[in-house]
Chains A and B, each alone.
Chain A
Amino acid sequence: MVDFDVVSLPETDHVAEGDTAPDFTRPLVNPEYWEDRALSDVVDGPTLLVFHPMDGTFQGTYLYNTIDDHGWSDDVDVLGLSISSPYAHKRLLADRGDGVRIFSDPGAGVIEEYGVAHDIDGMTGITESRPAVFLLDGDCTVEYVWVASEHPEFPDAEAIDDAVDHLVD
């Protein structure tokens, strides 16, 4: 770890455990094509919804490596979401995120609604997503939440493993 303080992000009123995940429609990208899909239409069982910084950031890359290393898409449906375009998502999925589909939210409207927005210093006009993980059951009820409170910060993969196991068992 570094021997200085990392940036703390402000408190945020994000979607919490026990809430119903707010519904939205955005282009959903798979390795072959993309089409408008509503979250409520896509979720039909345990689902890990992963908000991540733009495709190409090291945080995003690490998150997808973690998803692959832990094999989460073998146990639950994994849906990513970032402000990147469908074209960028397709390139990402060519390299990582086996079995993952990714929503494209360039205007950050979904990111704002979930309370995980982050305005990046020195990139005027870009509203980013904090790294954030929402584990949903088949009714879109939020069973587990993690939202970054530092910049950068990564989720506790073992805690997500446990939450996934708990939900799937």
Chain B
Amino acid sequence: MTEPQITLYRLQACPYCERVVRTLNRFGLEYQSRYVEPMHSERNVVKRVSGARSVPAIVDRKTGVTMSESANIVEYLEGTYGEGGA
């Protein structure tokens, strides 16, 4: 199994996370979902990776980018993988 380049830290049924998933699917990007708990205090892994406990957060190993906040992530994906992107 080839590991996808993008890891998405997400919370089940989180609308901001689903928004990012929709964008990933729009660009046909492979990603690995890592689910965390609703309680912020239970999300140390996300804090270690991104500096904040909020989800969604993505790690894109292709570009070396780690990012949280769905609006930022969508903008990043559109800029990087959308029309006119790299």
- Our verdict on whether A and B bind, yes or no, reads yes
Among A27-35, A106-114, A132-140, which stretch is in contact with chain B? A27-35
Cβ-defined contact, B33 with A35, below 8 A: yes
Cβ-defined contact, B34 with A33, below 8 A: yes
Cross-chain pair count, CB within 8 angstroms? 24
Cβ-defined contact, B32 with A87, below 8 A: no
Residues of A20-70 contacting chain B, CB below 8 A? 27, 32-36, 38, 40-41
Number of interface residues of B (CB under 8 A): 11
Cβ-defined contact, A41 with B1, below 8 A: yes
Cβ-defined contact, A32 with B45, below 8 A: yes
B37 in the interface, Cβ–Cβ < 8 Å? yes
Residue-wise, chain A 4-26 has the 8 Å CB interface mask toward B (1 for contact) of 00000000000000000000000
* Chain B residue nearest in CB terms to A25: B1
Given contact pairs A38-B1, A41-B1, A32 touches B35 in the complex (Cβ within 8 A): no
Chain A positions within 8 Å of B32 at CB level? 35-36
Residues of B40-83 contacting chain A, CB below 8 A? 42, 44-45
Given contact pairs A32-B44, A32-B45, A33-B9, A86 touches B1 in the complex (Cβ within 8 A): no
Number of interface residues of A (CB under 8 A): 12
* Chain B residue nearest in CB terms to A90: B37
Residue-wise, chain A 88-101 has the 8 Å CB interface mask toward B (1 for contact) of 00100000000000
Residue-wise, chain B 16-43 has the 8 Å CB interface mask toward A (1 for contact) of 0000000000000000111111000010
* Chain B residue nearest in CB terms to A37: B1
> How far apart sit A34 and B32, CA to CA, in the bound complex (Å)?
11
Residues of A within 8 A of B (CB): 27, 32-36, 38, 40-41, 86-87, 90
- 20 residue pairs from A and B, CB less than 8 Å apart: A27-B35, A32-B44, A32-B45, A33-B9, A33-B34, A33-B35, A33-B36, A33-B45, A34-B34, A34-B35, A35-B32, A35-B33, A35-B34, A36-B32, A38-B1, A40-B1, A41-B1, A87-B37, A90-B37, A90-B42
